[in-house]
Amino acid sequence: MATNRSRVIFPAAALFAGPAGSTGQHFSSGSSGTNLINQIPRAQSASLNFDVTLTDVNQLGQLAALDRLILESPTVSMDISWLLVDGKAESTLGFQAKGQATFISGQLDKTNDDRNYFLLISPEGSDAIGNTQTGLQNVISVGNGFVSNYTLNLAVGQLPTASLTIEGLNIKVDTGSFDKTLPAVNPLNGRPITAWNFTIPTATAYTGVGIVSALRPGDVVLEFPATAGIGNILSGAGSVNIQSVNFSLPLSRETLNRLGSPFAFSRELAVPIQSTMTIEALQADLRESNLADLLCNNQSYNFRVRLKKPDCEGTGANAIVLDYRNAKLQSQAFGVDIGGAATTTLTFQNQLAGLGDTSNGFFFSGDYS
């Protein structure tokens, strides 16, 4: 028998993503076969919100609005984060996580673009992992979700994490997690999709042979060009002491509307896509250099980050390899104050590559299976 909840806490929640094509089937054979919804492993947070834009209808002779109408669909947003493990989460979310092509290849050719996202809530006092009380569970889902921003952060004293922002067309809340109608709507007319149903699979802990619990900042290997930037040494003798590396991929969307529907019929990537890598470090030795020389010799740089599996000997296999290619220095800052060590911050930018281009952009290669 269900009990009334007084609160929802993190052990009761699990995060899932549907297959590409938010309005299509979520089983391999229509309403049966393999469940195409997959859990996002090591999820850390999820938040959802929406904003409704109201247009006032006013007229002469009356101060207050006659009405307040909704002319376009509400803006639905979802933010999620997870610990980096092996690229399984990135693959589940539709990114190219085996390194053969640009990270956003699935978004560029639309084979892995829109999908539905599901937040499972288990009954009071129950862990979501292993819980099979489908009739007592709740599901909060986002329909027609498109990724709009991806970030990856590595920092001293913190577990490596990634986060994603999603823009959608609908939010739906279900009682029960078995055989429910999709949260997606038809973008042409805004009507709910009723032809296909979904069932949330049982949440698991994502463990097994070769799967680590988490990656550690001490197992990060940075392969950076020594002379990138002004005055700094990024690798080798006398190099700066890097404290954090952050990658940001803004995947802004252009909303396309048409007369006859309050819903956007498409959300296209705004191109070109300018990504950013930010390095924060404690300053060490300085090398002779001159900003004026940059005007005549603005070099491009390739950066590689290897996240190795934890190993006492420091010889663990690569869990994830990140490549940031053909990047140029965009800004640099240096600071020192009383009581603290001198710091430097360098920001590099590149443009994400198109399909078939392996010389530019951001590449992610994980060892998941």
Query: Residue 262 CA to chain centroid, in angstroms?
Result: 27
Mean per-residue pLDDT, 288-304: 90
Q: What is the mean pLDDT of residues 137-145?
A: 97
pLDDT of residue 71: 87
Residues 19 and 85 in one domain: yes
Kindly state whether residues 167 and 273 are assigned to the same domain: no
User: Does residue 339 register a pLDDT over 50?
Assistant: yes
- Spatial CB neighbours of 296, under 8 Å, sequence gap ≥ 6: none
Query: Do 147 and 229 belong together in one domain?
Result: no
Q: Are residues 170 and 268 in the same domain?
A: no
The pair phi, psi for residue 218, each rounded to 5°, is -70, -10
Residue 57 counted as domain residue: no
CA-based nearest residue to 142, from 225, 56, 50, 252 = 50
Over range 227-249, report the average pLDDT: 93
Q: Domain tally for the chain?
A: 2
**Residue 169 included in any domain:** yes
Q: Are 182 and 311 in a shared domain?
A: no
Report which of residues 313 and 292 the model is more confident about: 292
pLDDT score, position 2 = 57
pLDDT at 307 over 70: yes
184 and 243 co-located in one domain? no
Question: What are the C-alpha distances in Å from 213 to residues 88, 155, 160, 350?
Answer: 13, 18, 12, 32
pLDDT computed for residue 3 by the predictor? 65
Q: What is the mean pLDDT of residues 198-211?
A: 96
Q: Does residue 320 lie in a domain region?
A: yes
**Residue 187 and residue 48 share a domain:** yes
Q: Is residue 2 part of a domain?
A: no
17 with 166, same domain?
Answer: yes
The answer as to whether 187 is a domain residue is yes
- Would you place residue 84 in the very low, low, confident or very high pLDDT band (cuts 50, 70, 90)? very high
Q: Within this chain, do residues 191 and 257 fall inside the same structural domain, yes or no? A: no
Give the per-residue pLDDT at 74. 87
The reply to whether 298 and 328 lie within a common domain is yes
Do you know the residue count of the chain?
Answer: 369
What tokens does 216 get?
A: 């550690």
Mean pLDDT of the 154-164 span: 98
pLDDT at 311: 84
Are residues 93 and 221 both part of a single domain? Answer: no
Residue 313 has pLDDT above 80, yes or no: no
Q: In whole angstroms, what is the distance from residue 42 CA to residue 63 CA?
A: 53
Does 311 fall in a domain?
A: yes
Which residues lie below 8 Å from residue 289, measured CB to CB, with a gap of 6+?
227, 230, 231
Residue-wise pLDDT for 214-236, tens only, equals 999 999 999 999 999 899 999 99
Q: In 227-243, which positions are buried (b, 16+ CB within 10 angstroms) versus exposed (e)? A: bbbbbbbbeeeebbebb
Percent of the chain residues topping a pLDDT of 90: 81
326 close to 350: Cβ distance less than 8 angstroms: yes
Shared domain for 235 and 327, answered yes or no, is yes
**Over the stretch 32-77, which tens digit does the pLDDT of each residue have?**
899 999 999 999 999 999 999 999 999 999 999 999 998 888 889 9
pLDDT of residue 344: 95
What's the CATH code of the domain at 34? 2.30.110
Which residues form the domain of 357? 217-366
Lowest mean pLDDT among 8-17, 257-266, 336-345: 257-266
Alpha-carbon distances of 342 from 111, 157, 246, 288, rounded to whole Å: 47, 19, 20, 18
In a domain, 78, yes or no: yes
Q: Does a structural domain hold residue 269?
A: yes
Last residue of a domain, one of 167, 198, 229: 198
CB 5 within 8 A of CB 165: no
Pick from 273, 285, 299, 280: which is nearest to 362 by CA? Answer: 273
**pLDDT of 1 over the 50 cut:** no
- Round to whole Å and give the CA distance between 94 and 113: 7
